[in-house]
Chains A and B, each alone.
Chain A
Amino acid sequence: MAEIIRLRGSPHEQAQQLLPWYVNGTLEADEAAMVEAHLVECAECRADLAAEQVLAREVAALPLDVEHAWSMLSDRIDAAGPPRRLAEPVPFLRRKVAIGWALGGPLAAAAAAVAFAVTLTPGAPSPAGETYRALGSAPTAAPGNALVMFRPDARDSDLRAALTKAGARVVDGPTASGAYVVRIAPASRTQALDGLRATPQIVLAEPIDPGSQP
């Protein structure tokens, strides 16, 4: 990192140097015009621009907080060695649960189960064909539950602001069609999607559920 390289001089070198700020839209008009003029005639810089736009998006999307905090804790866990667990199971009669609850609990549960079974309509078709899917059975810990597509000219900062406001976290994408899969707390999903749909830079915001194809 310490080496000094000279970047001044040719339009190519100047464009190379300014690309990141061309990408984030902060160049002065004359600088941006110079970069654009060079991009027209330089395939290498056009390729670099594409790569730079991806890099910019990925840096901005880095979930620094959780990931890094977790890796710090993870290092501490490694350093501490395996946690000490109770060596022996506690004998049943010495557990700190009143014997009445230990016996009464299962009885109460059985009674509740009977009560529940009785309330079912006799002869109603059983939902045998359906498979129930717990959240934990999805392939990732927190699968995406909504699909969001942005206008092509939307700025990265607008996208971030819209997603943050909706409490949405990008979990995958862009898909082949340019949409992102996001995760929103299930309880607030409907409201969050309404908010996203009302954002001008957003073309589409639809719920998806585990098992359905985006």
Chain B
Amino acid sequence: MALFARVVGGDRAAFEELYRLYHPRLTRFLLNLIRRPTLVEEVLDDTMMVVWGRADSFNGASKLSTWIFAIAYRKAMRGLKRQDEAVEDKDAENRVSDAASPEDASSRQRINALLMRAMDELSPAHRAVVDLTYFHDLGYREIATILECPVDTVKTRMFHARRHLRRRLSGALTDWI
């Protein structure tokens, strides 16, 4: 928090440190959420610009990371909406990828590929809950704050998402256990 206090005071070096601290986590979160590397870069920049410009509006009601992730989530959803209006790829869902089929690869790569596809089939909001839980290790209350939704919504999304993922991975996961 000493670092953030310096950011509030307009210390550029402190902000750079904060940026470097959050860049990996935000990249992972946004890439999983919006799945478009070019948009990820833009949203990450927008997010950090808000953190820099509005640092004084952070009131400590939540953890700093929760506040930053919540800004990123809002920016991401807005970015997605903007881009979907611009170029709607109607065929994307039906397109068959001719990348190596999951059966060809080693078991680890096969599970990765299956899981990646299953994650792709979830909505961004569902993906966000899964990733915040299992990669970022956040509790459901914190996730609700980030996504600005009731805690019951987080639980319900997670319930549906994991049912979907486990159904898609059923064979592979039993082998893996």
A59 touches B155 (CB 8 A): no
Q: State which of A26, A52, A58, A64 has its C-beta within 8 Å of the C-beta of B139.
A: A26
Interface magnitude class on chain A: 35 or more
Residues facing B in A3-58 (CB within 8 A) are 4-5, 7, 16-18, 20-21, 23-27, 50-52, 54-56, 58
How far is it, in angstroms, between the C-alpha of A16 and the C-alpha of B156 when the chains are bound? 11
B162: chain A residues within 8 A (beta carbon): 20, 52, 55
A69 touches B134 (CB 8 A): no
Residues facing A in B112-135 (CB within 8 A) are 112-113, 115-116, 119, 122-123, 126, 130-131, 133-135
Q: State which of A17, A50, A59 has its C-beta within 8 Å of the C-beta of B159.
A: A17
Residues facing A in B67-103 (CB within 8 A) are 95, 97-99
A59 touches B37 (CB 8 A): no
Is A117's CB within 8 Å of the partner chain B? Answer: no
How far is it, in angstroms, between the C-alpha of A50 and the C-alpha of B177 when the chains are bound? 8
Q: Which residue of A lies closest to B105 (CB)?
A: A140
Q: Which residue of B lies closest to A61 (CB)?
A: B112
B113: chain A residues within 8 A (beta carbon): 67
Is A170's CB within 8 Å of the partner chain B? Answer: yes
A17: chain B residues within 8 A (beta carbon): 155, 158-159
B116 touches A68 (CB 8 A): yes
Is B165's CB within 8 Å of the partner chain A? Answer: yes
Q: State which of B35, B108, B133 has its C-beta within 8 Å of the C-beta of A170.
A: B108
With A21-B139, A26-B139, A68-B35 in contact, is A55–B112 under 8 Å at CB?
no
Is B55's CB within 8 Å of the partner chain A? Answer: no
B115 touches A172 (CB 8 A): no
B160 touches A55 (CB 8 A): no
B140: chain A residues within 8 A (beta carbon): 18, 20-21, 26
Q: How far is the CB of A214 from chain B (nearest CB, A)?
A: 14
How far is it, in angstroms, between the C-alpha of A171 and the C-alpha of B111 when the chains are bound? 12
A54: chain B residues within 8 A (beta carbon): 173, 176-177
How far is it, in angstroms, between the C-alpha of A55 and the C-alpha of B157 when the chains are bound? 16
How far is it, in angstroms, between the C-alpha of A18 and the C-alpha of B162 when the chains are bound? 12
A67 touches B116 (CB 8 A): yes
Is A111's CB within 8 Å of the partner chain B? Answer: no
A58: chain B residues within 8 A (beta carbon): 111-112, 115, 169, 173, 176
Q: Which residue of B lies closest to A69 (CB)?
A: B37
How far is it, in angstroms, between the C-alpha of A172 and the C-alpha of B107 when the chains are bound? 8
Q: How far is the CB of A80 from chain B (nearest CB, A)?
A: 14
Question: Which residues in A have some Cβ–Cβ distance to B below 8 Å?
Answer: 1, 4-5, 7, 16-18, 20-21, 23-27, 50-52, 54-56, 58-65, 67-69, 71-72, 74-75, 78, 140, 156-157, 170-173
B95: chain A residues within 8 A (beta carbon): 75
A55 touches B165 (CB 8 A): yes
A56: chain B residues within 8 A (beta carbon): 133-134
Q: Which residue of A lies closest to B89 (CB)?
A: A75
B97: chain A residues within 8 A (beta carbon): 71, 74-75
With A52-B162, A62-B119, A170-B108 in contact, is A26–B173 under 8 Å at CB?
no
Is B12's CB within 8 Å of the partner chain A? Answer: no
Is B31's CB within 8 Å of the partner chain A? Answer: yes
B116 touches A26 (CB 8 A): no
How far is it, in angstroms, between the C-alpha of A25 and the C-alpha of B136 when the chains are bound? 12
How far is it, in angstroms, between the C-alpha of A71 and the C-alpha of B28 when the chains are bound? 16
How far is it, in angstroms, between the C-alpha of A64 and the C-alpha of B155 when the chains are bound? 24
